[in-house]
Amino acid sequence: MLSYRHSFHAGNHADVVKHTVQSLIIESLKEKEKPFLYLDTHSGAGRYYLGSEHAEKTGEFLAGIARVWQRDDVPAELEPYLSAVSAYNKGGNLKYYPGSPLIARHLLREQDKLHLTELHPTDFPLLRQEFAKDPRATAVRGNGYQQLKSQLPPTSRRGFILIDPPYEMKTDYQAVVDGIQEGYKRFATGVYALWYPVVLRQQVKRMIQALKDTGIRNILQIELAVQPDSDRRGMTASGMIVINPPWKLEQQMSVALPWLHRVLVPEGIGHTSINWIAPE
Ligand SMILES: C[S@@+](CC[C@H](N)C(=O)[O-])C[C@H]1O[C@@H](n2cnc3c(N)ncnc32)[C@H](O)[C@@H]1O
């Protein structure tokens, strides 16, 4: 089943948190000269036009990036992320939203590599086209989980792996844990970031328990909720689970997350949290 299209959701509150964390991880990895691999298992189309029928239908970006974009009191922790969004919106008008591969493309250096995977028959050609002239990038139409076996460890022995499935199939909650386990077996020093939605809290709890049961250590969880948990349909919160987080990430997000919550949820409902699922 491939009915999920990220174009309906690009730039929403979940993307803002996800891409803030993604950008901070990339910036930390850049502190060493040695190259690294950015592996994106579920890449999407790459670029999203915010005037498209899909974006306008849901209007999700209006309660996401559009709220952050208007601010002039942005904390320094958001600068890498917003520099990437600006790079695709020359002139200052918010017209396009860059997905995770384009954010990485903007922030990565000449010596780094991108390995991007997308399965959707419409989104994959768009992604491939975006990267056609980038010698650092390989775009593959295939199963993202498979790449955790075939591409790890990276030849550079440094890497950041973003795992961002749609969870339209409930099996994704277990597949991400199995995928991380496969990747970790081959490459235990990589930074792994797993995005998750909170639709039913129980599903997230089970996924976290399965992750704890793998015995993997050094796992940080970062979450922003725009509503209280609910058993009705729809995402009330989202988060990033980061294995081997850069040492500054917890502190950086402890500044960025409350600010994002104030800006994204002016009603003041929901919550933010940063916890260690497993310490080092
Ligand atoms: C949440 S979106 C990705 C968004 C993107 N990472 C970003 O932040 O801009 C999930 C994507 O995964 C794709 N997809 C679904 N199952 C997949 C699989 N098994 N392997 C690779 N891609 C898959 C979907 O078509 C969709 O484009």
pLDDT 10s digits, 153-192:
999 999 999 999 999 999 999 999 999 999 999 999 999 9
What pLDDT, on a 0 to 100 scale, did the predictor assign at position 18? Answer: 99
Residues 270 and 122: their CA atoms lie apart, in Å, by: 35
- Ligand 1 mutation pick, 43, 162, 167, max ligand atoms within 8 A of CB: 43
pLDDT band of 232, cuts 50, 70, 90? confident
- Domains plus CATH for the chain? 6-278 (3.40.50.150)
Distance 198 CA to ligand 1 centre (A): 17
pLDDT over 90 percentage in the chain: 97
Output the ligand 1 site: residues, CB below 6 A: 2, 4, 6, 18, 42-44, 99-100, 117-120, 123, 143-145, 164-166
Pair of tokens at residue 113: 């590599």
Distance 179 CA to ligand 1 centre (A): 14
Binding site membership for S-adenosyl-L-methionine: which residues? 19, 42, 100, 118, 143-144, 164
Q: What is the mean pLDDT of residues 43-51?
A: 97
Residues 18 and 162: their CA atoms lie apart, in Å, by: 10
Distance 206 CA to ligand 1 centre (A): 22
Atom of ligand 1 nearest to the CA of 41: 21
Which of 14, 50, 26 lies closest to 248, judged by CA? Answer: 26
- Ligand 1 mutation pick, 18, 118, 199, max ligand atoms within 8 A of CB: 118
Selected catalytic residue, list 123, 164, 172, 178: 164
Q: What is the mean pLDDT of residues 13-30?
A: 98
Q: CB under 8 Å to 76, separation ≥6 — which residues?
A: none
| Mean pLDDT of the residues in the chain | 97
Q: What is the mean pLDDT of residues 211-224?
A: 98
* CB 116 within 8 Å of CB 43: yes
- Active-site residue flag, 164: yes
| Lowest mean pLDDT across 1-5, 96-100, 128-132, 239-243 | 1-5
- Is the pLDDT at 82 greater than 90? The verdict is yes
Distance 195 CA to ligand 1 centre (A): 11
- CB count within 10 Å of CB 202 equals 10
pLDDT over 70 percentage in the chain: 100
pLDDT band of 1, cuts 50, 70, 90? low
